[in-house]
Amino acid sequence: MTFLNIAMLGGIFAFNIPVIIHLFNRSRFKVVKWGAMHLLEPAIRKNMRRIRLEQVLLMMLRAMIPVALALAMAAPVLTAGTPLIGSAPSSTVLLMDTSFSMQAVPGGAAGGRSNFERAQDESIELVRGLPSGSQVGALEIAERANPLTDRPTTDRRRVEHRLEQAQAGAGAVDMAAALEKSVETIASMRHHAKRDIVLVTDMQRTSWPEQQRDRLMRIRQKLAELQPRPTLTLMHVGEPVEENVAVTEVRTVPRHIVAGREVRIEATVHNFGNRAHRNVRADVYVNGSVRGRISYDMIEPGGSATSSADLTLRFDPDEAGSHYIEVRIDTDPIEADNRLLHQLEVLDHIPVLVVAGGGRQSGGGAGDDVVDALQPYAAVDPADTRDLFKVTLINERELGEHELTPYAVVVLADAARLSQAAIERLETFVNDGGGLLIFPGERVAGEGRHWYEGPLYRSGRGLLPAPILGIGDAGGEAQDGGQRRPVHVARQSFDHEALRLFNDPQQEDLSGLRFVRWFRYHPQPPSAAGQRVSVMARFSNGDPFLMEKTYGAGRVIAAAGPAEVGWGYMPLRAHVFVPLMQQLAKVPALEAQPQRNLRVGEPIVELFEREWIGESVDLAFAPLGQTEPADRYSLPVRDRRGRGVAEFSATWKPGLYTLTRPDGTEAHFTVNVSRTQSDLEQLDQRQVAELAEMLDARVVRSARTFLDEAEQQRHGRDIWPWFLMAAIVFLIAEMLLQQLLTRRRS
């Protein structure tokens, strides 16, 4: 026997109270000498034994009342001995795996029963077989643990109905999180003598990563701390699925698509099975219409193959905007990974704002050099529209009142001092995903240096990646016959995406950029939590040339030299300066675009200009394989630090989500199954046994086995009602005995 509220056993000691009162009353009388006492002594001796017996019996009844009440309040459970007649109610938490792998059909036969359908049947049979009065908490687990009922219930028919309505999901499953949720649920349920947590799953290997081992051990400890301890059961349903081929990646060459330029589509197919697949064909659809085919001669077991479509796309300028492509194969019944959607953003131009310390208004300067580098065609012929970037040039004094939402990147070209309003606008812009390029120059070295080290750096919390330690000078005014010896950008293999172009032997490298003066940044500055600072490129003397800082959802890149002639010769090396400026602007600009190729469970986020705040936008969802929307949602555009934002987080189904803006234009969001789920390999028998040992769990293959074993092991029953009944009986007996003794004395 065990007790669920063992602290209440202390009430047993209350039985001393009636005993003490009884003994105290015995000692209260006193002896009085009385001459006629000898006449009563025969009667007293005759009744003395009966009186003592009645008093002792009354005392025992009074003592047993607090003992019985204390035992009842301690919630005793009978857990040992022979099985009791009848079936005691239990508390059961049922976790049904609805992740993507459960869609697999053993044998791969079309129309066959999937592992999910088998899990559904076993779950329903388990609930149906629980004893009457049992409390059930059922959860479907995939990307999250979703309760099938509002709260645990004794209405088993309702739980069965919800299980029948459940559908296989499309995401991965976090087993540790699901088990943690089950522990919380079982702890909140009634404290029946028998408590169970049953996990119904296909035992997919990727669902039990080694990294979760510590969390699983903590779950075992939490279960051991519960009284009575719940029993954890792993129900391994379904059969292994040997074969699965999936489209794992779709990409475009080039990665960033500009209207009027050709683009090639490449797709990768991976074979997760045990046999080779020959002559695999993939159809390519663009905006729902078939446009080409990709062929794969051989895909080895466990291998991947990448091939290009037999078509080249070209989008006209009037087609700039959102498009989507889909690559389909037909090798097995698992549709969710036989198709992969990919959103394309066709760019007309990338909008850039250049903030100049001098600017064209003053007749030249760093701002002009930056504009010419970003718009080289327009620099020769203003009517030429072939440039990727569309640049707006303003003076630093105008930034505080200038709207930044339309731009992807802002460039500070020797802007020496900005207003507080301008700084706040820039911080919000970058935090929301925008890009900022900083090219300090002569004005910053003079009047603006303290401003850079103060409001712009803010002890690591501001936009500037690192504090300025000083101004580097290549040997003073003159050296080696009156000529300065400049530093140059060190030759190296670049890892940063913006600089990888310069690893190409066909491209002139950055070592041609030379400087006689430069800003010396701290190479390893402290940074605020959640921010990362790195050196992208260095000078030949080891000082940083380019530094990058992540700031919210955006990034800041700061150069150590100005984008103008004076401190160096960067603008004069057009074959290096122009591609460098375009790469530095392009990478953060394209990353500033909202992420539109998502995995199941990742939220949809779309940004809007300020005037759209308070409006509503329409979001339509078309499942994989369908062109017509199955669901529609209305999303409000909310204010977030002066920008409009619409969000949708319930992306639990793969497919195409199309958002229609207030101006009628569309943005496509593709939601695909994580391809880690396409590996359908299950844990083998030894691995399942090791997992069960680690969790102190048992393993069964069916609901029938679970119910049979539960019947054989059902030795526990709540017996506190018996003690409560005993206390009531003792109380009634004490009252009756007291009345009887009172009448006799009368």
**437 vs 588, which has greater pLDDT?**
437
CA distance 722 to 649: 52
Percent of the chain at pLDDT above 90?
40
The per-residue pLDDT for range 72-131, each reduced to its tens digit, is 887 777 665 444 434 678 899 999 999 999 988 887 665 678 899 999 999 999 999 999
Contact (CB, 8 A) for 531 and 333: no
pLDDT tier for residue 717 given thresholds of 50, 70 and 90:
low
Confidence at residue 169, expressed as pLDDT on a 0 to 100 scale: 81
What's the rounded mean pLDDT across residues 501-507?
87
Task: Give CA–CA dist 372/378, Å, rounded.
Answer: 8
Q: Which pLDDT score is estimated for 418? A: 85
* 490 or 8, higher pLDDT: 490
What residue ranges in 161-288 does DSSP mark as E strands? 194-201, 231-236, 245-253, 257-258, 262-271, 277-286
CB under 8 Å to 162, separation ≥6 — which residues? 138, 148, 149
Report whether 563 contacts 369 (CB < 8 A): yes
What pLDDT, on a 0 to 100 scale, did the predictor assign at position 111?
64
Q: In this predicted structure, what is the pLDDT of residue 384?
A: 76
- Name the least confident of 3-17, 239-253, 571-585: 3-17
pLDDT exceeds cutoff 80 at 590: no
Stated pTM of the model: 0.68
pLDDT of residue 113: 85
Please list, residue by residue across 632-644, b when 16 or more beta carbons sit within 10 angstroms of its beta carbon and e when fewer do: eeebebeebeebb
- pLDDT on residue 361: 46
Per-residue pLDDT band at 479 (split at 50, 70, 90): very low
Sign of the alpha-carbon dihedral angle for 93, 98, 101, 105? positive
pLDDT of 475: 62
DSSP string, 85-120: SS---EEEEEEEE-SGGGG--GGG-TTPPPHHHHHH
Read off the pLDDT of each residue in 671-682 and give the average, rounded to a whole number. Answer: 90
Residue 276: the pLDDT is: 92
Residue with tokens 């701290």: 522
Domains present along the chain, CATH in parentheses: 2-79+721-745 (no CATH), 90-239+689-715 (3.40.50.410), 245-347 (2.60.40.10), 350-590 (3.40.50.880), 597-672 (2.60.40.10)
Range from 34-48, 293-307, 669-683 carrying the lowest mean pLDDT: 34-48
pLDDT for 34 equals 64
Distance in angstroms (rounded) separating the CA atoms of residues 440 and 556: 13
**Preceding peptide of 228 cis, ω within 30°:** yes
User: Where does the pLDDT of residue 608 fall: very low under 50, low under 70, confident under 90, or very high at 90 and above?
Assistant: confident
pLDDT for res 86 = 43
Tell me the three state secondary structure of residue 290: strand
pLDDT of 242 over the 90 cut: no
Q: How does residue 666 score in pLDDT terms, banded at 50, 70 and 90?
A: very high
Tell me: pLDDT of 481 over 60.
no
What's the confidence (pLDDT) of residue 727? 83
SS3 content of the chain, % helix, strand, coil (to 5): 35, 30, 35
Q: What local confidence, expressed as pLDDT, does residue 218 receive?
A: 94
Q: Predicted confidence band at 714 (pLDDT cuts at 50, 70, 90)?
A: low
Q: Please tell me which residue, 29 or 469, carries the higher pLDDT value.
A: 469
- pLDDT at residue number 326: 95
Question: Looking at residue 318, what is its pLDDT?
Answer: 78
Residue 690 sits at φ, ψ, to 5 deg, of -65, -40
Structure confidence at residue 340 as a pLDDT band (50, 70, 90): very high
pLDDT at 172: 85
Q: Which two tokens stand for residue 63?
A: 């003592």
Average pLDDT (625-645) is: 89
pLDDT at res. 740: 80
Position with higher pLDDT, 664 vs 50? 664
Helices (H), 592-647: none
300-323: average pLDDT: 84
What are 162-221's pLDDT values in tens digits? 999 998 888 888 999 999 999 999 998 877 778 999 999 999 999 999 989 999 999 999
| pLDDT, mean of residues 514-541 | 87
pLDDT digits (tens, 9 = 90+) for 690-709: 999 999 999 999 999 998 88
Of 248-262, 331-345, 528-542, which gets the smallest average pLDDT?
Answer: 248-262
The residue among 407, 435, 387 whose CA lies nearest residue 591 is 435
Residue 260 Rama label (left phi>0; alpha psi -120 to 50; beta):
left
Rounded CA separation 725/731 (Å): 10
For strand 231-236 and strand 194-201, is the pairing parallel, antiparallel, or unpaired?
A: parallel
Q: Say if CB 245 and CB 305 are below 8 A apart.
A: no
Q: Report whether 408 contacts 349 (CB < 8 A).
A: no
What pLDDT, on a 0 to 100 scale, did the predictor assign at position 323?
A: 93
Provide the strand spans (E) within 98-207: 135-141, 145-147, 194-201
In angstroms, the CA 192 to CA 368 distance is: 79
Tokens representing 611 are: 């005037």
So what's the pLDDT on residue 480? 42
Dihedral sign computed on CA atoms, order 149, 155, 156, 158: negative
Helix (H/G/I), strand (E/B), else coil: 573: coil
Per-residue DSSP letter, 646: E
User: How many alpha carbons lie under 13 Å from residue 183 in its C-beta half-sphere?
Assistant: 20
The answer to whether residue 658 scores a pLDDT higher than 60 is yes
- Whether residue 679 is predicted with pLDDT greater than 80 in this model: the reply is yes
299/319: higher pLDDT? 299
pLDDT tens digits for 381-437? 888 777 889 999 998 888 888 888 888 899 999 888 888 888 988 998 898 888 999
Residue 451 contacts by C-beta under 8 Å, 6 or more apart in sequence? 416, 417, 418
Which segment of 188-197, 229-238, 428-437, 655-664 scores lowest on mean pLDDT? Answer: 188-197
Q: What is the SS3 assignment for 247? A: strand
DSSP for residue 12: G
Distance CA 99, CA 84 (A): 40
Q: Closest by alpha carbon to 342, among 100, 601, 598? A: 598
Q: How far apart are CA 113 and CA 108, in angstroms?
A: 10
pLDDT category of residue 453 using cuts at 50, 70 and 90: confident
pLDDT computed for residue 482 by the predictor: 44
Per-residue confidence at 512, pLDDT binned at 50, 70, 90? confident
Residue 521, pLDDT score: 92
Residue 246: CB atoms within 10 Å? 26
Cα atoms in the Cβ-side hemisphere of radius 13 Å centred on 507? 15
Q: Which of 26-40, 67-81, 401-415, 711-725 has the highest mean pLDDT?
A: 401-415
Q: Are the C-beta atoms of residues 139 and 148 closer than 8 Å to each other?
A: yes
Q: For residue 287, give the amino acid letter.
A: N
Please tell me the distance from the alpha carbon of residue 87 to that of residue 134, in angstroms, as a whole number: 10
Query: Residues 6 or more apart from 440 whose CB is under 8 A from it?
Result: 412, 414, 448, 452, 519, 558, 559, 562
Query: Helices then strands (H, E): number in the chain?
Result: 16, 36
Compute the distance between CA of residue 524 and CA of residue 38 in angstroms, rounded to an integer.
Answer: 111
Collect all residues with Cβ–Cβ distance below 8 Å to 247 and sequence separation of at least 6.
267, 268, 269, 282, 327, 328, 329, 337, 338, 339, 340
Whole-angstrom distance, CA of residue 370 vs CA of residue 675: 42
Q: What's the pLDDT score for residue 724?
A: 84
CA distance 344 to 739: 93
Share of the chain above pLDDT 70, in %: 89
Helix (H), strand (E) at residue 376: helix 376-380
pLDDT at res. 358: 59
pLDDT band at 28 (very low <50, low <70, confident <90, very high): low
Distance CA 302, CA 578 (A): 44
Asked if residue 201 lies in contact with residue 237, where contact means CB atoms within 8 angstroms, the answer is: yes
Beta bridge partners of residue 252, listed in sequence order:
265
Task: For residue 621, give every residue at least 6 positions away whose Cβ sits within 8 Å of its Cβ, in sequence order, or none.
Answer: 629, 630, 631, 632, 633, 653, 655, 656, 657, 658
Tokens of 569: 């010769």
Q: Which residue has the tokens 């075992």?
A: 220
C-alpha count within 13 angstroms, C-beta hemisphere, residue 712: 6
